[in-house]
Amino acid sequence: MKLWYTIFIFIFYFILNAKAQTPVVLWHGMGDDCCNPKSMGGITELIQAHLPGVFVHSVKLGDSINDDRNAGFFGIINDQVDSVCQQLANIPELANGFNAVGFSQGGLFMRAYVERCNLPPVRHLITFGSPHGGVSDIPNCIDIHDFKCTLMRTMVKRGVYTSYVQHHVVQAQYYKSSTDLQDYLDRNIFLPQINNQVEEKFKNNTYRDHLGNLETFVMIKFTEDTMIKPPESAWFWTLDKDNQIWPLEQQKLYQEDWLGLQFLEHNGRLKFLECPGLHMQISDEFFIKEVIQPYLADGARKHFVNQQL
């Protein structure tokens, strides 16, 4: 009798999971695209293999794969976030909310989605190696033959805070100069705003409220990251005026809770993890154990099954 009851519970779980599993949205990083079988495609298959029936959407900007890849280098991030807000709002499967996983700069942009739109709402936000605190150097090109990346770096070096570069090069819009913080605050068109590093009268409390509504915000740093500088930017750490690492808890952004990060941490909902290896080297084992099982699998049903067995 016990055996048949156990089998029934497992069947019931998988049917329920297939029908009601929280959807997942992915946002790829620089030089990648929505549907690359070696990156986002592989991640999608891994999630679906462990969460049968789950709906997975990979963010795509533009009408083609080439458009999507180009958007990772050129354009205005604010416009791209607005476009994704509309894109996700028009997907029926996401209407009741979803879990979000952002990779590299895609994690930063997904956070911007949460702060500015969050409709449909994000439940768990997981970011891998994302430059939340900005970068002190423009990310290198993984592929030295990638013309788009080479062009991007050349443009940025000629004037990262000029209006032209700020309105054309994506990576310039989260560049944070440690030697000229005032230029960063005055002329960077994206990161100071999304981090609420603006005058008090211009701070947006909606950003704090939206992030504070997350069930969990998981920030993952790569232990040997040489792409994002400093790599601790993945945890909102940044460089101070003396070019020294400035931990999150020592910054006003945290102390005065401009984004709700202190609130999340005090409630056990802000997580700082490390992934072994170089930038975007994520093993299947790590993704399953540290992302799928604790955050993408619906915990209530998982707990129900464990209690019954």
Give the active site residue among 68, 257, 279, 298.
279
Alpha carbons 246 and 240: distance in angstroms, whole number: 6
Give the active site residue among 33, 225, 257, 298.
225
Query: Is 28 an annotated catalytic residue?
Result: no
Cis preceding linkage at 230, omega within 30: yes
Element (H, E) at 305: helix 299-308
Decide if 75 contacts 4 (C-beta within 8 A). no
Give the active site residue among 104, 130, 177, 233.
104
Sort 112 into a burial class: Cβ within 10 Å, 0-12 / 13-18 / 19+. Answer: buried
Sort 259 into a burial class: Cβ within 10 Å, 0-12 / 13-18 / 19+. Answer: buried
Which positions ≥6 away from 50 have C-beta within 8 Å? 288, 292, 293, 297
Query: Is 279 an annotated catalytic residue?
Result: yes
Query: Is 225 an annotated catalytic residue?
Result: yes
Query: Active-site positions?
Result: 104, 225, 279
